[in-house]
A and B are shown apart, each in its own frame.
Chain A
Amino acid sequence: MSKPLKKISLTKLLHQNKNKWSFIKLRQFYQSLEKILKETCSYAELCTNNGHWLDYTGTEMNSSCFSCSSVKPDCVCELTFSFSQLFEGPVFFYYGLSNYYQNYRQYGVSKDANQLSGDTTYFLSPQDTCSPYQYDSSGKPIVPCGSIANSKFNDTFKLYLMVNGVKTLVPFDGKGIAWWTDYNVKYRNPATVNGSLAKAFDGTVKPPNWPKPAYELDPSDAANNGFVNQDFLVWMRRAALPNFRKLYGRITGGDYSQGLPAGNYTLQINYNYPVVNFKGTKKVIFSNVSWMGGKNEFLGLAYLVIGCLCVVMAIVMLIVYAKYKFSDDDDMQ
């Protein structure tokens, strides 16, 4: 909505109508503020606010994921959207959850750092803080134990670009989405037994919510399997606020290194993760990242406002100073 306005150069506007310019500017400012303060977006289309995002919770009847929101696992739904111009890359793909309290205290302590650093002595006797996901009903220890691991986000996404009516897969790069230190230092897989990671997990069971055990998270890549699975690591770093986003993958491969070209896209969602019963929402976010980090309108606005404030104050003070100085001169005479 505001895009065409932006295109008109400011100087032109200034020449045209001073009053109008300030009015428009104010309105623009107000809209940006509103966007920052309200994180919801009523559009079924892509919303633009700290990146382009798309709600797929499926609470609305006309949403294609509506059926999935109440149906049990392995429900697949598709969302379509389009970019009217090239979305400059590198593009980052996030999933976002709202009203999800990952910063809940009891939730936050519900893990065993020793297990996760690969210490097998803690596999058979997980920490008490993991309760109620410490042992399963048959008394077998759960590895990785605790609420955080158990509630790992398990929706999966596939993005297709419609080229001439043909779906072409846009690949996500899931490497390097977790902190380097988490991947390389903090989280360690247990030593393999006879070359098998699965054997190291002997005598333990998978968290009840997981479809498969930890050692099968990514059987294709040993460096992304078990506790050092990047998706797992991303999930384990708890979000600060109840509305958060987490990195799912990067779109950097081959043709898409410049970004996502204009066109129609289809997002295929493997809908597993229930959020409706705690009034949460799920969304996906396409965002590009600058040297400053992710797109953040608050920071820009704040600096703009404070900068203006400072300029105004500087002028006021200059006037005050000048007045005082002159009056001083009067006194001197």
Chain B
Amino acid sequence: MLRRRINLLFGGDEKRVDSRTIYVGHRPCPATEAFIPPKFCDNRIVSSKYTIWNFLPKNLFEQFRRIANFYFLIIFLVQVIVDTPTSPVTSGLPLFFVITVTAIKQGYEDWLRHKADYEVNKYPVIVLEDGRSIRKESEKIKVGDIVEVVEDETFPCDLILLQSTRDDDTCFVTTASLDGESNHKTHYTVPDTEKDLQSLNATIECEQPQPDLYKFVGRMHIYKTDQEPAVRSLGPENLLLKGATLKNTKKIYGVAVYTGMETKMALNYQGKSQKRSAVEKSINAFLLVYLCILISKAVVCTTLKYVWQSQDGQDEPWYNEKTQKEKDTYVYLKMFTDFLSFMVLFNFIIPVSMYVTVEMQKFLGSFFITWDKDFFDPEIQEGALVNTSDLNEELGQVEYVFTDKTGTLTQNNMEYIECCIDGFQYRNSDSMSELDGFCVTDGPVSKLQQKAGRDKEELFLRALCLCHTVQVKEAGPDEIDSDQVDGLVSELSQPDEQRGFIASSPDEVALVKGAMKHGFTFLGLENKSMKIRNRENNVELYDLLHVLNFDPVRRRMSVIVRSKSGETLLFCKGADSSIFPRVRQEEVDRIRMHVERNATEGYRTLCVAYKQLSPEEFAVADAGLRDARLALQDREEKLMAVYNQVETSMSLIGATAVEDRLQEEAAETMEALQGAGMKVWVLTGDKMETAKSTCYACRLFQRGTELLELTVRTLEDGGRKREERLHELLLDYHKKAVQDAPPVKAGVTRSWSTANQEYGFIVDGATLSLVMNPSPDTNSSRYKSLFLQICQNCTAVLCCRMAPLQKAQIVKMVKNSKGSPITLSIGDGANDVSMILEAHVGIGIKGKEGRQAVRNSDYAIPKLKHLKKLLLAHGHLYYVRIAHLVQYFFYKNLCFILPQFLYQFFCGYSQQPLYDAAYLTMYNICFTSMPILAFSLLEQHIAIEYLLDNATLYREIAKNAMLKWGPFLYWTVLGIFQGLLFFFGVKYLFSNPALQDNGQVFGNWSYGTIVFTVLVFTVTLKLALDTRHWTWINHFVIWGSLAFYVFFSFFWGGIIWPFLKQQRLYFVFANMLSSVSAWLVIILLILLSLLPDILLMVFRKPRGPHARQLSEGSLLQTARSLPSPRCPTSI
């Protein structure tokens, strides 16, 4: 801290390596010792990963880094090297297929990137060189070049704006392609640069490239002959980012500071860290189990083989003599190759195609969210957006929902309600007929029909008009619609004043409009002077000297203006907590009551204060601000310090109340989420009272909910040390909520409407930081776990006065708590980004506060109400689908390979495959892949309407219920049962292998084909039994797959294939079908293996949880829809 002060005082600019010096126009500067042209990277953008030459090796390397692919590669290599039962083709072909498809997809994506890169890199730009404009390719721009950009062009690299054709030295840009915000942003030229860029002699010192789009610190030294070099500070408002587009400005000149891969856009290009879903962890666990099964099968077979061979006469019967090579092979080596052979034979139990199917399911499945018409919002003409398809099923597993308040629970559509000036309340009546209605129509609501003095009134209204960063929208005819999307709140209703206001926060617009209703109109900012029209329709001009920007830590903003009369005024507005300590206490007492009452009504309140600056005071403040703005390091901190210095000893003039309406169906959505067993936490930067009332309005807190409060207020109640009080309260609450509460059974049985006492927990930012970062001397590391336990036992938790980072901290704490619950964050603003990134699933709302949240989210929805369907319907269904997909895949491969394993016992453990190579290869690729893919995309085991109506259904799949070991065991047992049935059923049939009516005998390939036919039909029909929601696609793929199997078998066995060494399946299938016995056994075995499922279906239906709730749900519905007269008669 001390060092910062010192730096502040001395302008602290020690040279650091992490800044770069740029010579504008490559002109050497007199001041610097020697002109060393610094080396920077060129302006070539390389977003592509591969070149033609390295594509194959690099792509293959990356693909085989995946453990599954590597495993299959090993199996393939074993097959190539060792004499194995199946040809390398059987595992090589699927692997090749998977690798090729992935490579093609990645190659195509890379080709698109190449194309885009080429377009960007070859784009012609105009560069000023030695007084001439030279056309260059974009990639040839070097740092220090002066670049000309005309209207509607994108900037080829990051530029410092030197000159604009606009009169006021500004230019407008949109950054739609960078962060999605389509409003126009104003950027400023470096002040006092020469008009003639040729004679400009300057260097720019700025920080090394960093990815934050909204941060830039730099300094420009301008050297003029015979003068001291002038220094100008550079900020993000001077920087034009590559990728942004110039608007409303004919032409600008700028000097390139960051080029190519060092531009902020390129630095931001590196994708977000991958989020992995819990389902994948389950898959990996199951894979491990199956790997163990596989290895133990191979070990068992190898062992038994040698035990069996040790018996007399079994090793080498005369009809099957060994080759000389075999005889010579060392026995342990033989054992090892036998083991490998068995591995190869059984390796199909681990399905290569499952990964492909899961990927495809996720990729295609995400389209259903994008396409959902219910998510379409007519207001913004947009639907949902899916940024990550990896997390679809995670939506069905959410246990904690962290929601922002402003813009998420509420509409962030601010409406000015009332103000309070000097303790007198002014409520605006709804009638807008009288234009100057402030005095006439607005009666104070308070019983005292009194008003503040006119001076105070006008001062207050002027403050409202001046203390903001609102811009007046120039109503260009073509821009009205485009800007309505973002930022622009509304046009004024007056036809003669087609103007709108653009502001970073809607509160400001609401306040400016509120002032307008009271007769003070903000006309705009011109040449650093603000124009307002007062009640007498006179235009007043104020010079805008400084804007002390708003930030969430200070929670206030100020302006310093100079009126025409020469007074220097500071207006400050901000949250009561940040204003009250800085004004005189007697003023506070008059206004506090109003503020608190407004807050409990759910309004957002802001206090307005002012201060008259003496010229001396101003000079000090001015110098401090300028110094701080020039600082290269710690600029933020320095600025903050100056702000805090300036904003003291103000006088409070009033407070405003702005209403933020609840989102549509916010209460219903929250109720549904709680009903689904999710815990909803509201994390907001807002005041406690406001947030609390919002929570009540959203029914997060109900009338019966007992609120446990852990805020600064309660901590200071006892008048003791905060830490002690905190300790006491925590223990007290813990006793109440955790120890005394009846033991909560697993989510399924607990209903949200039980008579249990419900607790709501309220904590504020300051207290939270006490809990999270306890002072080291106290033995308070327990606080965190106590706090967490209390929170987990409360139905709703409200965290108010949160800084963005604290939000993420809370999410992280819950995420890492016991049982690692799945968390979801939903928010709409930049302050929610940290928690959106932190949570397992991040959801952005396409709200009014820009697109940052949407950009960083995994899913974006237009409105809060869509969350209900996203979780309860889509999330639930995707979870069930993918769980079924995974279980089914393991099951179908188990009963595929089990007969082959059993066959080893009857073929002398000789690794004789039961099925033909074609069947082995095609089983997972063609015969059984499509039905499960279609199922996993389209299945709705419970209709969406029911899911939405009965939120409790969501509890049934909580905690990864369908991928627990129980269901896994069920599927495994089913697979084993069916595998045994297939094998032994056919084996007993083959006790007399003469199956044809002409007495001819079937051989081993017929055996395998019968087993395989039963297998394919059973596995497919099992899926058909599981399918609850039949579409034509399901019908097509299920019956189509079976038909394809039959067709393929005929085809494969119907021709002598010239490329095959052995025609072992020649006419096997056709002969099989000509045998009535084979038909009978196939039908019998299919029925028998499906019997458990059919029985389960029949017996489960009347008792199963699904059916009961469904019927209850429908009963309730009918009861609700029916008028009640039946009830009395029935009694």
Contacts and interface: CB of A to CB of B under 8 A. Distances in A.
Interface in B980-1025: 985, 987-1008
A100 to B, nearest CB: 7
Contacts of B999: 90, 92, 177, 247, 250, 287, 289, 294
B198 to A, nearest CB: 84
**By CB atoms of chain B within 10 A, which of A127, A294, A298 has the most?**
A294
B991 A36 contact: yes
Interface stretch (B33-41, B428-436, B758-766, B1061-1069): B1061-1069
Contact of A237 (B907, B912, B1001, B1061): B1001
B1062 A113 contact: yes
Contacts of B911: 105
**By CB atoms of chain A within 10 A, which of B912, B1056, B1102 has the most?**
B912
Interface string A81-124: 00000000010101000001111111111110110000000000
A291 B907 CA distance: 30
A182 to B, nearest CB: 8
A325 to B, nearest CB: 10
Contacts of B323: 131-132
A313 B1095 contact: yes
A147 B320 contact: yes
Interface string A217-245: 00000000000000000100111111111
A245 B988 contact: no
**By CB atoms of chain A within 10 A, which of B317, B320, B997, B1098 has the most?**
B320
B994 A293 contact: yes
B934 to A, nearest CB: 31
B995 A294 contact: yes
B538 interface: no
A293 B1076 contact: yes
Contact of B992 (A113, A277, A287): A287
A90 B312 CA distance: 41
Contacts of B998: 176, 289
Contacts of B1008: 240
A151 interface: yes
Contacts of A109: 1062
A147 B1006 contact: no
Interface residues of A, number: 69
B1080 A292 contact: yes
A40 to B, nearest CB: 12
Interface in B1008-1059: 1008, 1056
B324 A132 contact: yes
Given A131-B323, A278-B317, A292-B1076, A105 B1067 contact: no
A306 interface: yes
Contacts, number: 188
A147 B1066 contact: no
B1075 interface: yes
Contacts of B996: 289, 293
A286 to B, nearest CB: 11
A105 to B, nearest CB: 4
B1088 interface: yes
Interface string A174-185: 001111010001
Contacts of A133: 321
B313 A277 contact: yes
Contacts of B85: 105
A176 B999 CA distance: 9
Contacts of A296: 989, 991-992, 995, 1077
Q: Chain B interface: which size bin?
A: 35 or more
A246 B1056 contact: no
B994 A287 contact: yes
A1 B1004 CA distance: 34
Contacts of A107: 319-320, 910
B1071 interface: yes
Contact of B907 (A94, A105, A147, A247): A105
A147 B1087 CA distance: 40
Interface string A14-39: 00000000000000000000001001
Interface in A176-222: 176-179, 181, 185-186
Given A104-B910, A293-B1077, A303 B1084 contact: yes
A277 B1062 contact: no
A261 to B, nearest CB: 20
Contacts of B992: 50-51, 245, 287, 294-296
A321 B868 CA distance: 38
Interface in B304-318: 312-314, 317-318
A150 interface: yes
16 contacts: A90-B999, A101-B907, A101-B910, A103-B912, A177-B1000, A178-B1000, A186-B1056, A234-B1001, A238-B1004, A238-B1005, A239-B1003, A240-B993, A279-B312, A298-B991, A299-B1080, A302-B988
Query: What are the 9 tightest A-B residue pairs by CB atom distance, in nearest-first order?
Result: A294-B994, A151-B319, A240-B1007, A105-B910, A278-B317, A240-B1004, A298-B988, A92-B999, A105-B912
Given A113-B1063, A303-B1080, 15 more contacts: A50-B991, A101-B908, A102-B1004, A107-B320, A237-B1001, A240-B993, A243-B991, A245-B994, A277-B313, A279-B314, A287-B992, A294-B999, A299-B1081, A306-B1087, A306-B1088
